[in-house]
Structure 1
Amino acid sequence: MTIGSGYGGGVYSPPDHPTADPSSPATQQIAAIPVGRTSGGSTGAATAEDATRDDTTRDATRDDTTRDATRDDTTRDATNDDAAPDTSSLAIRPPEEEVNRRANQRDEAAAAKPLLPRILQVAVALFFPIILLAAAVRAVTTPLFLWVEYHRPGFPADSYGFSTEDRMTYGSYAMDYILNWAPARYLGDLVNTDGDQLFLDSEVGHMADVKGVLSTGFVVATVLAILTIIACIYLARRYPGGIRRGLFAGAVATLVLAIALAVAGILAWETFFTQVHALLFADGTWTFSLDDTLIRLFPAQFWIDAAATVGAIVLIGAVLTLVLTWPTKARREKSADAYAARRANNGI
Structure 2
Amino acid sequence: MSDKSPKPQEPDTDVHEDPNEPAFDWMKPKTSSGASPAAPATTTTPASAAGKPNVGSDPAVSTSGSVPTTATPAGGQPESRADRKAAEAADVDAEPPLFADTLAGASTDKQGSHYSEPLPTSALQVRPPEDEVARRNAEREQAAKVKPIGPRVFQVLLAVFYPVILLVLAVRAVTSPLFLWVEYNRPGFPGDGYGYSTDDRMTYGSYAVDYLSNWAGPRFLGGLVNQDGAKLFKDSEVAHMADVKLVILSSFGAGLLLIILSIIAILYLRKRSNGGIRRGLFAGSIVTLVIIIGLAVLAALSWQQFFTEFHRIFFANGTWTFSLEDTLIRLFPGQFWIDAGIVIGALVFLVATLTFIFTWPTKRRRGLADKQDAAEEASSGSEDTLEVVSGNDKADKEANDSKR
Alignment correspondent of 2:333: 299
- Corresponding position: 1:127 with 2:180: no
Matched ranges for 1:210-221 at <5 A: 210-221=244-255
What's 1:116 paired with? 150
- Give unpaired runs (5+ residues) of structure 1: 1-89, 93-98, 341-348
Structure 2 counterpart of 1:331, which letter? R
Provide the identity percentage: 60
Counterpart pick for 1:205 among 234, 239, 262: 239
TM-score (norm 1): 0.66
Structure 1 partner of 2:112:
none
For the residue of structure 1 that corresponds to 2:259, the secondary structure is helix
8 A contact 1:124–1:246 mirrored in 2:
yes
Q: For the Cα contact (< 8 Å) 2:175–2:209, is it kept in 1?
A: yes
Task: Report the CA distance shift for 1:163/1:237 in structure 2 as closer, same or farther (over 3 A).
Answer: same
1:257 aligns with 291
Distance 1:270 1:104, change over 3 A: farther
Could you say which residue in structure 2 is the equivalent of 1:320? 354
Q: Which amino acid aligns with 1:157?
A: G
Q: Which has the larger radius of gyration?
A: 1
Is residue 364–residue 370 contact of structure 2 (8 Å, CA) maintained in 1? no
| 3-state SS of 2:216 partner | coil
**Contact 1:241–1:335 (CA under 8 A) maintained in structure 2:** no
Q: Find the aligned partners of 1:335 and 1:277 in 2 and give their Cα distance.
A: 51
Partner of residue 344 from structure 2, selected from 297, 305, 310: 310
Aligned position for 1:9:
none
Match of 2:271 among 237, 246, 267: 237
The answer to whether the aligner puts 1:160 opposite 2:204 as a matched pair is no
Q: Which amino acid aligns with 2:239?
A: G
1:116 CA drift (Å): 1.1
- Given that 1:189 and 1:197 are in contact with CA atoms closer than 8 Å, whether structure 2 keeps it comes out as yes
Q: Distance in 1 between matches of 2:208 and 2:327?
A: 10
- Write the distance in 1 (CA, Å) between the matches of 2:327 and 2:285: 39
- CA 1:228–1:197 in 2, change beyond 3 Å: closer, same or farther? same
Within the candidate set 257, 275, 280, 1:223 is matched to: 257
Task: Report deviation, 1:277.
Answer: 0.2
Instruction: Give the Cα–Cα distance (whole angstroms) in 2 for the partners of residues 202 and 179 of structure 1.
Output: 20
Instruction: Name the counterpart of 2:181.
Output: 147
CA shift in 2, pair 1:261/1:91, >3 Å? closer
Cross-structure match for 2:399: none
Matches within 5 A, 1:1-348: 107=141, 109-333=143-367
Q: Distance in 1 between matches of 2:206 and 2:262?
A: 33
**8 Å contact from structure 1 (residues 252, 318) kept in 2:** yes
| Cα distance in 2 between the residues matched to 1:112 and 1:276 | 44
State the shift of 1:91 in Å.
7.7
Of Structure 1 and Structure 2, the greater helix share is in: 1
* Deviation of 1:111 (Å): 4.0
Question: Aligned-pair distance for 1:103?
Answer: 7.3
Structure 1 counterpart SS, 2:318: coil
Mark the CA change 1:175 to 1:105 in structure 2 (over 3 Å): closer, same or farther. farther
SS at match of 2:147: coil
Q: Which has the higher contact order (CA 8 A, sep 6+)?
A: 1
> Whole-Å Cα distance in 2 between the matches of residues 177 and 302 of structure 1?
18
TM-score (norm 2): 0.57
Tell me: CA distance 1:296–1:103, structure 2 relative to 1, closer, same or farther (3 Å): farther
In structure 1, C-alpha distance between the alignment counterparts of 2:190 and 2:217, rounded to whole Å: 31
- Once the two structures are TM-superposed, the CA of residue 335 in structure 1 deviates from its matched residue by 10
- With over 3 angstroms needed to count, the CA separation of the structure-2 counterparts of 1:110 and 1:311, relative to structure 1, is same
Cα distance change, pair 297–309 in 1 and its aligned pair in 2 (3 A) = same
Q: Report SS of the residue matched to 1:252.
A: helix
- The amino acid that maps onto 1:179 is S
Would the alpha carbon gap of residues 334 and 216 (structure 1) be closer, same or farther in structure 2, given more than 3 Å must change? farther
Q: Summarize the Cα distance change of 1:240–1:334 in structure 2 as closer, same or farther, 3 Å threshold.
A: farther
The structural deviation recorded for 1:240 is 1.4
Structure 2 segments unaligned to the other structure (5+ residues): 1-128, 375-404
Show CA shifts across 1:64-98 (max 9, x none): xxxxxxxxxxxxxxxxxxxxxxxxxx889xxxxxx
